[in-house]
Amino acid sequence: MFPSAGRTLRITALALSVASLLFLPFAGRFLDHDDPLERADVMFVLAGGGIERWLEAVDLYNEGWAPGIVLSPGSVGSLEAVLQARGIRFPREGDLTREAIISSGVPPEAVTILPGSVDNTAHEASALRQTLQGPDPRRILVVTSTYHTRRTGLAFRRAFAGSGVDVRIRGSRYSDATPGRWWRRRPEIRFVTSELQKYVLYAVGIGD
């Protein structure tokens, strides 16, 4: 390698490192990206996130932002499949979440669970796209956690590209995330650093 080329690479690497360090304080706010609320035809709640995602969905339903709630089925582990094959009932995350939502006052007919199994955000987006084939809906409202909103928007808009469906992403109001001070709490440090890596992979088209 020519000396000038090596020097250029070192300077570029240094510049990227400095840029990354300068960006880090703003990483939480970058990942926190809600879309403006508009009435949707379908509300979809991603798996995971504990209580905060489905509790947000209940409030949005009661506020009239969507006529019903569709839940991600989550993933089915190998041992869960064994139990199913043996006829043993073992409630999945979606089943428990649906029961909790109904207990919150949402009519049973307004809460459904996607069939199958999904194990990441991109698969959830693809599963919803396949399930919603046809002229409707025209707008979907996707509910997730604060630091997951940016990547969720990328995954769902990619999955629904060319469909004419307007995708709106909503982070839960019940999240305890502090985007402007994310580095002060260990759980947020883990979430933010993980999401940044996953977002980069999604952005270049190699993330699931």
Q: Which residue has the higher pLDDT, 23 or 172?
A: 172
- pTM beyond 0.75: the answer is yes
Q: Are 58 and 97 in contact (CB under 8 A)?
A: no
- Mean model confidence pLDDT for the chain: 87
Q: Quick one: DSSP state of residue 164?
A: T
What confidence tens digit (pLDDT) does each residue in 8-30 have? Answer: 556 554 444 444 545 577 889 99
The pLDDT of residue 185: 93
Tell me if 4 is assigned to some domain.
no
What confidence tens digit (pLDDT) does each residue in 61-106 have? Answer: 999 999 999 999 988 777 877 888 898 888 888 999 999 999 999 9
Tokens matching residue 166: 């307007």
* pLDDT over 50 at 52, yes or no: yes
Q: Using CB atoms within 10 A of its CB, is residue 204 exposed (0-12), middle (13-18) or buried (19+)? A: exposed
Task: State how far the Cα of 208 lies from the Cα of 193, in Å rounded to an integer.
Answer: 17
Tell me if 49 is assigned to some domain.
yes
Domain hosting residue 133, numbered range: 30-203
Among the ranges given (119-123, 128-132, 140-144, 203-207), the one the predictor scored with the smallest mean pLDDT: 203-207
The pLDDT of residue 24: 76
Q: Quick one: DSSP state of residue 129?
A: H
- Tally of structural domains, the chain: 1
CATH number at residue 158: 3.40.50.620
Tell me if 13 is assigned to some domain.
no
Tell me if 124 is assigned to some domain.
yes
Tell me if 18 is assigned to some domain.
no
Q: Where are the alpha helices (DSSP H) in the chain?
A: 3-23, 27-31, 52-62, 78-85, 93-103, 121-131, 149-159, 186-203
Q: Which residue has the higher pLDDT, 45 or 48?
A: 45
Tell me if 150 is assigned to some domain.
yes
Q: What values do phi and psi take at 38, rounded to 5?
A: -140, 150
